[in-house]
């Protein structure tokens, strides 16, 4: 039987382990057990610190092979991922998710990230914030069109101010054309409906006035 040889590289490789970090300790205990690197942790007989100290001590005698190198790298990487996700979960401002999107959307995401030299996350975040903004503008636009008796005055320039690239601008043009047609067809109908609504509104107002009078009496 060969005497186990001390491997100084292992010590260096595991220096990132902070024995004072409670979170890291309990994570490590799970990780070590999960990989069957040590017998199961028994909280009645040992502390997490004992367990980890023992593990580190044993690890110093690991043979210097590609596998141990790999395992050490993976362990550190797993911890970094876990910690990052843990912090994300705690965060009030960011949240990590996992979604399935179409290839078309994915290609576009890739293109935008490259164009802006930023991460996918940043692109998605910005896009969705913009979408919120768009929703607000859309509502404003609808209101604008409703108030304006002559909705036809809306033109591409009006919509184009919300966009800054060619493709959306073209879409805006098509959208405006469609809207124009639709409005021309439906204008009379809307006017009729508007008259009806105004009538109804007047009736309700009268009713409210009556009720208010009764309550005040």
Burial class of 73 by CB neighbour count within 10 A (0 to 12, 13 to 18, 19+): exposed
Closest to DNA by CB, 103 or 213: 103
CA-closest candidate to residue 49, choices 32, 61, 37: 32
Which residues, numbered 53-112, are part of the site for DNA (CB under 7 A)?
Answer: 70, 74-78, 80-82, 84-86, 89, 96-100, 106
Q: CB within 8 A of 6, min separation 6: which ones?
A: 60, 61
Shortest spacing between CB 78 and DNA, in angstroms: 3
Is 50 a binder of DNA (CB under 7 A)?
Answer: no
Q: How far is it, in rounded angstroms, from Cα 202 to Cα 54?
A: 84
Shortest spacing between CB 74 and DNA, in angstroms: 4
Which residues, numbered 19-48, are part of the site for DNA (CB under 7 A)?
Answer: 27, 30-31, 34-35
Which residues, numbered 146-165, are part of the site for DNA (CB under 7 A)?
Answer: none
- Please state, as a whole number, how many other Cβ atoms lie within 10 Å of the Cβ of residue 28: 21
Q: What is the DSSP letter of 153?
A: G
Shortest spacing between CB 35 and DNA, in angstroms: 7
Which segment (3-11, 116-124, 141-149, 206-214) binds DNA by CB under 7 A? 116-124
Closest to DNA by CB, 76 or 187: 76
Q: Are 48 and 26 in contact (CB under 8 A)?
A: yes
Residues that bind DNA (CB under 7 A): 16, 27, 30-31, 34-35, 70, 74-78, 80-82, 84-86, 89, 96-100, 106, 113, 119-122
């Amino acid at each position: 039987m060969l005497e186990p040889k001390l491997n100084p590289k292992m010590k260096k490789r595991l220096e990132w382990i902070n024995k004072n970090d409670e979170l890291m300790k309990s994570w490590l205990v799970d990780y070590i057990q999960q990989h069957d690197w040590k017998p199961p942790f028994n909280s009645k007989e040992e502390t997490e610190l004992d367990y980890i100290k023992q593990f580190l001590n044993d690890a110093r005698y690991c043979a210097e092979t590609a596998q141990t190198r790999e395992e050490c790298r993976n362990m550190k990487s797993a911890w970094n991922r876990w910690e990052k996700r843990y912090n994300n979960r705690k965060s009030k401002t960011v949240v990590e998710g996992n979604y399935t999107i179409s290839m078309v959307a994915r290609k576009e995401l890739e293109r935008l990230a490259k164009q802006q030299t930023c991460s996918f996350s940043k692109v998605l975040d910005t896009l969705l914030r913009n979408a919120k903004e768009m929703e607000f503008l859309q509502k404003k636009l609808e209101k604008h069109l409703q108030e304006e008796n002559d909705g036809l005055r809306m033109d591409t320039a009006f919509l184009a101010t919300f966009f800054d690239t060619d493709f959306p601008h073209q879409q805006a043009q098509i959208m405006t054309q469609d809207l124009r047609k639709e409005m021309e067809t439906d204008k009379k109908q809307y006017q009729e409906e508007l008259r009806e609504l105004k009538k109804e509104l007047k009736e309700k107002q009268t009713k409210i006035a009556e009720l208010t009078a009764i309550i005040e009496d």
